[in-house]
Structure 1
Amino acid sequence: MQEEKTAENKANYIDGGNFKARIGNTTYLVGVFFNKAKKVTIEDRMKNLICQEVTAGNF
């Protein structure tokens, strides 16, 4: 049952690749996935992230 659900969930996502980010002495491997069912574009996502960072004062 769990394997079936995992396979179904994976089918709904597009693999966006991965990248490494190093913070201090720790290296993180970050995976990026996009939900096929969402109607939000990458441009919309980036605008939202930028607005959140500006609002939080993280610039």
Structure 2
Amino acid sequence: MSKELFVRAEEVAGVLGISKPYAYKLVREMNEELKQKGFLTIPGRVSRNYFEEKFYGLRENQ
């Protein structure tokens, strides 16, 4: 994975080995969670840190 600030749905699909439509669904769900926490979001992209924390249990300070 590159170290860009956001991960696109296409990259989510490749990393997780899932279809693009399902990756877009996951990105929408993560963005909705972030919106509920008061963050701004970009359709089709999600924060790389949030994605890694959500799927790998990683935190920035680990």
What is the TM-score of this pair, normalised by structure 1?
0.38
Q: Give the structure with the higher percent strand.
A: 1
Q: Give the structure with the higher percent helix.
A: 2
The structure having more radius of gyration, on CA atoms, is 1
What is the TM-score of this pair, normalised by structure 2?
0.36
Pick 1 or 2: higher relative contact order, CA cutoff 8 A, min separation 6. Answer: 2
